[in-house]
Structure 1
């Protein structure tokens, strides 16, 4: 039984939302970030980068407190206003390739702790603590966790009804994506949505494992500090964007390795032969189409790699993931990459737009070998989460990617 609640969002006025909302600030290259800050006084990036006002970089708690101050200034100047009554926020993002539609809501820390909200990735404790400290000092969260749920007819009917109305927000960004938000604030519809989610046994984190885990750490801290804790306080929940499984898009991350661990090309191919049937495709672009099939670009040639089932043992759902197979058969034993989180010899890139990236990055000398995979599907993600297992890093590139400050959740 999943708890999903409406909340009173802080959000930009309708005339400024297209200027305020931004991509996650980590995405911006330094030059582009500076241009955004220079030419757009309303961008939320001013809140997240408070040192720009003083022409200096700020770090740690000092930065977090300045973020809080910039946020207050946006509220004082009327750029941000808080809704007077709780609502669900129906958000539709339309890209040139896809349409995503779901509900922004407050989801339960208790559900996270009780494994009703399920995880498929591990988290780094230092990063959890950093973001918990950020939340504690700023008092808000502007980026929802991306959750997915099984397609539900009841929820879909309410969504379809509101899509026929004029949106509260409608704007298009320079990347040709259109963003629309509707408010669902009638009590009857709110209760129908809440009851529908109560019938759903589990929600799955698609993106935002560190944000959700940090929110739970903050809730634990604030519970201990509050002698009158009731469980209804805002800190007992975190902002999420819930979309049906059919709307989720999952892409693969390709792997790039800088060297062959001291092996020649021929020696490397012989080592691979123990695990794979190998076929040299020459200059013909090869993209794998099935699970346990891989593409490889090496020394000017594409190769197909088909896993030899007799040389590899499937022991659980994790062992069947292509990212795990590649690690267990190639990256660790042959190329000597023990820790794929920290080893600087390996790099990753999502195969979303560039099918020639394997070739390009190897031919230009940046890497010596590259591997392509097929995407992991939503059922595999759920199986891993249900088994309380963790995927290797960079196993999935999941869309939609969400903008900051469309809705803001205060603690």
Structure 2
């Protein structure tokens, strides 16, 4: 099924390699404007100039952030700031990071994957997408003809065949090894041995891949491939634009940390808040939990993640004095608020109940047009602070979605609501990337 290939990666040169912590950046979709400015100032060679360049007031179609990124890429290649590896490789990326007092390692394989239409079920999505991010990434693809950030995808390795291949590379000298200011460490090695590559390819060819993070990038790559095929006419099917760069991670990897995107709401009139309470009591059993309780967060986490926690939601606000634990009275009564085409698995997701029953039905929000009203936080304490400080009126806390649930949703051909999962931490941009001309 999945068609995996090595590639000649583009990387920073040996001189800049010593300061990689200053030049890598997050992927475009988690870079707010203030961070964009900080990354520009961090280094004149920061990868932000390719991944998510600044827009300027005087920008036009012929002179824009995309054309500036293309000029920067050409300049850095000409100056040797960026170099192309001589031998095609699959890259082994070990990403070490702290989270909630524990240390983790997420092991990924950076490789090219043949693009496949969704209908073929070779590459399987799990979340919905929006038009604007796809337009941005498609325009960047046209300008650079390169994948600046990799899509995160998941695979299965029950017999540890792929793991054994990767483990054999651990003693090799890394291409890249550096620490970041936030306590993360990155180690990158190249797998160029023919037999190792063949083993990885054989084992991944037996199964589909599941997109964890990067749905917009994948759909942009599909659109770009279609554009190029229409322009060129007959093609071989093995052109540079027929592939996309992915970081592939085992479903069972201990470092696969998935955070829940809690929902925060503000800007609602007082009468709407009054209506919410009567609506909630109709569909949920409600237990009040004082914030002053010494073990309040322990009780919240047990409520959300316990065996009986399906559909459970914790509400902070609007009074701020108590935390409300919401448990669905009857899943059947909630189905009428779900999109009719959705699977049973989708309808029972906590995030589906939150989005469709509470946010859309009871609060009257249009989720795709609520940038000012609706926000997301991936930390329950941060969400609580933002309500208690008065920045937001309410926060709805949910439990993280397990990897096996993601697989089940994707296997039935469904997609979760947008912002259902957050894979932590994001794969950084600038370690290595794919330029189609080097295929």
Instruction: State the TM-score, normalized to the length of structure 1.
Output: 0.91
Q: Unaligned 5+ residue runs, structure 1?
A: none
Match in the other structure for 2:340 = none
Does the Cα contact within 8 Å between 1:253 and 1:394 map onto a contact in 2? yes
**1:7-406 paired onto structure 2 within 5 Å:** 7-17=7-17, 18=20, 19-25=22-28, 27-48=30-51, 58=59, 60=61, 62-63=63-64, 64-97=66-99, 98-110=104-116, 112=118, 114-152=120-158, 153-200=160-207, 202-247=208-253, 248-258=256-266, 262-263=270-271, 267-283=275-291, 284=293, 285-286=296-297, 287=300, 288-289=304-305, 290-298=309-317, 299=319, 300-309=321-330, 312-313=333-334, 316-337=344-365, 339-344=366-371, 346-352=373-379, 355-406=380-431
Q: CA deviation at 1:261?
A: 5.3
User: Partner of 2:289: helix, strand, or coil?
Assistant: strand
Summarize the Cα distance change of 1:49–1:391 in structure 2 as closer, same or farther, 3 Å threshold: closer
Q: CA deviation at 1:16?
A: 1.6
Does the Cα contact within 8 Å between 1:348 and 1:394 map onto a contact in 2? no
Query: Once superposed, what is the RMSD of the aligned Cα atoms?
Result: 2.4
Q: CA deviation at 1:75?
A: 0.9
Q: Distance in 2 between matches of 1:49 and 1:368?
A: 32
Q: CA deviation at 1:356?
A: 2.5
Aligned length: 405
Q: CA deviation at 1:278?
A: 0.6
User: Partner of 1:217: helix, strand, or coil?
Assistant: helix
Summarize the Cα distance change of 1:261–1:50 in structure 2 as closer, same or farther, 3 Å threshold: closer
Q: CA deviation at 1:267?
A: 4.8
User: Partner of 2:368: helix, strand, or coil?
Assistant: coil
Query: Per-residue displacement from partner, 1:82-102 (whole Å, max 9, x unpaired)?
Result: 111211000011001321101
Q: Distance in 2 between matches of 1:66 and 1:83?
A: 24
Summarize the Cα distance change of 1:307–1:160 in structure 2 as closer, same or farther, 3 Å threshold: same
Summarize the Cα distance change of 1:32–1:209 in structure 2 as closer, same or farther, 3 Å threshold: closer
Summarize the Cα distance change of 1:282–1:8 in structure 2 as closer, same or farther, 3 Å threshold: same
Query: Per-residue displacement from partner, 1:328-379 (whole Å, max 9, x unpaired)?
Result: 3222222111x21212464232334xx3234322222222222111111112
Q: CA deviation at 1:160?
A: 0.7
Q: Unaligned 5+ residue runs, structure 2?
A: 336-342
Query: Per-residue displacement from partner, 1:3-41 (whole Å, max 9, x unpaired)?
Result: 111111111124423143222355445455334423512
User: Partner of 1:67: helix, strand, or coil?
Assistant: helix
Q: CA deviation at 1:61?
A: 5.1
Does the Cα contact within 8 Å between 1:7 and 1:106 map onto a contact in 2? yes
Q: Distance in 2 between matches of 1:212 and 1:49?
A: 17
Summarize the Cα distance change of 1:94–1:310 in structure 2 as closer, same or farther, 3 Å threshold: closer
Query: Per-residue displacement from partner, 1:89-128 (whole Å, max 9, x unpaired)?
Result: 0001100132110100001113655221001222223432
